[in-house]
Structure 1
Amino acid sequence: MENQPKLNSSKEVIAWLAERFPQCFSAEGEARPLKIGIFQDLVDRVQGEMSLSKTQLRSALRLYTSSWRYLYGVKAGAIRVDLDGNPCGELDEQHVEHARKQLEEAKARVQAQREKQQAKRREAGEEEGARRPRKPAARKAAAAGEEVRKPRSNNKPPRPAAERKPAEAKPRKPVTDTAALAVGQNIKVKAGKSAMDATVLEITKDGVRVELASGLAMIVRAEHLQF
């Protein structure tokens, strides 16, 4: 007896009882309803075996009879059994009803726990999303299924407007030969430091007749024209 392994948990005790009394206890599947007063029968039969105490046996029986598979077996028409599997009478209606209520309450507790865990996961997801909001451009691109490209940064701060140089206009080429012009061509007419848009109407030996954007037509010498 001294070399017998010690059973530490109620599950281990139940597994041992299923091996010791296979016609009464089961380790899996639907369980058979137990005889009323079977605890005392157990104490008498297993006294000294596996160094089991009454407290261990009582805890194991409580766990066994509160399991879903046992409560499923407590139903109308089922027969109670003793340690050897002998029938010990049919279940009373009140016992069947009590088992049904216990099963419903157990299922409700599990469902409530699942809903609570799901709510926590949803809250955690919302908080995570709130901490990392997506930029409007990124949301728009994501909705359209487009790839979001981040602008490159040269790590240089923008220069103040006062320090920015105005864009320099490209220099225009003066017209040196009227043969290079064509009727209908867009051209510039130089007037002082500025230049006006014009369209070539006619090329003559005295100059080039053009029409300004204002509708005014005039003859201009080649040196006053620019491409």
Structure 2
Amino acid sequence: MENQPKLNSSKEVIAFLAERFPQCFSAEGEARPLKIGIFQDLVARVEGEMSLSKTQLRSALRLYTSSWRYLYGIKVGATRVDLDGNPCGELDEQHVEHARKQLEEAKARVQAQRAEQAAKKREAAIANGETVADKPRRERKPRPAPRRPEAAERKPRAEKPAPQAPVEEKRTPVTDISALQVGQAIKVKAGNNAMDATVLEITKDGVRVQLTSGMAMIVRAEHLQF
């Protein structure tokens, strides 16, 4: 749609997805494993909303699934979820092992970068005639890999109740932005959905709002609702 709010970075797209699908995506904390093939589900559900393209969705999904907090969530016994939070099967051992290796490689790269930066600082200090005391770093012991419980020890999991369809609220479109006030609660329309927001500023180009995820954007009056 024309004149829809735009998301410019992958982090903004992730914040939008966490707002749009809270049972699947999260903006902070440990992330839940995603359903295999969830990209196609995303395209079907949100392509075009907030002017999102397939390229933006793919880049955001790649950033999300390569983050440390997502890799920490790929563990034995964890369950994949779809966009609505419905379980889609347990993780395979090969996926758990692949995530563990990715996490170890990422940590190794960070440690190498820190060591390189420390070496440069030490060289600079020596060049300036400063005394540098080398303090040996304590090596962290690798975390033991979790053991897969025996089949006999597993307890049957209780079935989760099917999620109830949300009751659609009746909303009134904003026709005059001059009637709005800073700090007022408002709804931002995105496709067939509306997200909670707060008015930060009223400008000649539209209304600057802040979503509950913390992201701020300028929105035109036709995308606002009471």
Segments of 5+ residues of structure 2 without an aligned counterpart are 131-226
* Residue range with higher mean Cα deviation, 92-101 or 40-49: 40-49
Letter in 1 for 2:2: E
Note if 1:100 corresponds to 2:112.
no
Pairing of 1:210-221 with structure 2 (within 5 A): none
Letter in 1 for 2:84: D
Cα distance in 2 between the residues matched to 1:72 and 1:48: 31
| Superposition RMSD in Å | 1.0
2:110 is aligned to 110
1:20 is aligned to 20
Residues 123-166 of structure 1: CA deviation (Å, up to 9, x unaligned): 00001118xxxxxxxxxxxxxxxxxxxxxxxxxxxxxxxxxxxx
| Structure 2 residue matching 1:113: 3-state secondary structure | helix
| Structure 1 residue matching 2:80: 3-state secondary structure | strand
The structural deviation recorded for 1:48 is 1.9
2:50 is aligned to 50
1:86 is aligned to 86
1:70 is aligned to 70
The structural deviation recorded for 1:4 is 2.3
Letter in 1 for 2:34: L
TM normalised by structure 2 equals 0.57
Letter in 1 for 2:36: I
Residues 58-80 of structure 1: CA deviation (Å, up to 9, x unaligned): 00000000000000000000000
Residues 142-198 of structure 1: CA deviation (Å, up to 9, x unaligned): xxxxxxxxxxxxxxxxxxxxxxxxxxxxxxxxxxxxxxxxxxxxxxxxxxxxxxxxx
1:5 is aligned to 5
Greater percentage in helix: 1
Cα distance in 2 between the residues matched to 1:48 and 1:9: 16
Cα distance in 1 between the residues matched to 2:88 and 2:45: 18
Segments of 5+ residues of structure 1 without an aligned counterpart are 131-227
Letter in 2 for 1:28: E
Cα distance in 1 between the residues matched to 2:126 and 2:58: 47
The structural deviation recorded for 1:2 is 2.8
TM normalised by structure 1 equals 0.56
1:125 is aligned to 125
Cα distance in 1 between the residues matched to 2:24 and 2:47: 18
Q: Comparing both chains, which one has the higher relative contact order based on Cα–Cα distances under 8 Å and sequence gaps of 6 or more?
A: 2
The structural deviation recorded for 1:47 is 2.2
Cα distance in 2 between the residues matched to 1:76 and 1:5: 40
Residues 26-83 of structure 1: CA deviation (Å, up to 9, x unaligned): 0000000000000000000012211111000000000000000000000000000000
Pairing of 1:145-156 with structure 2 (within 5 A): none
2:154 is aligned to none
